[in-house]
Amino acid sequence: MIVQSILHVIVLVLIVIGGALAVWFKDLISSVLALASASLLVALEFYMLQAPDVAIAEAGIGAALTTAIYVIAVRRTRRKEEE
């Protein structure tokens, strides 16, 4: 039980770090990938909370499809954020 609690804390801290990196990066492709990894970690957290149904939906929609749409949008506009 204590191992599970430590794992939960690690995953939640990593989610916050991923979200903060998505805001902090100036390169927008890196920002999108940080957001995708945060989304994938959210899916892992759903799985650890015994909701595999939600985890599959989150991994499919959040980590794959929004990343694809963001990458298409970034490739057609500017890659760097303006200062």
Partner 1 sequence: MNSGMSLIVRTVTRLVYGLALVFGFYVIMHGHLTPGGGFQGGAVVASAFALLLVAFGAAGIKGRLNHHLLQTLEEIGALAFLALGFVGIGTAFFYNLLANSGSLFGGPVPLGPNAGVFNAGGTLPLMNWAVGLKVMTGIAAIVIAMLIGARKEETE
Residue ranges binding partner 1 (CB under 8 A): 52-53, 56-57, 59-61, 64-65, 68-69, 71-73, 75-76
The residue among 10, 66, 7, 33 whose CA lies nearest residue 57 is: 66
Smallest distance from partner 1 to CB 67, Å: 9
Nearer to partner 1, 10 or 73 (CB): 73
Determine the Cα angle at 78 with ends 18 and 35, to 5°. Answer: 15
Nearer to partner 1, 5 or 80 (CB): 80
Smallest distance from partner 1 to CB 17, Å: 24
Q: Are 34 and 23 in contact (CB under 8 A)?
A: no
Smallest distance from partner 1 to CB 81, Å: 19
| Residue the block writes with tokens 């200062």 | 83
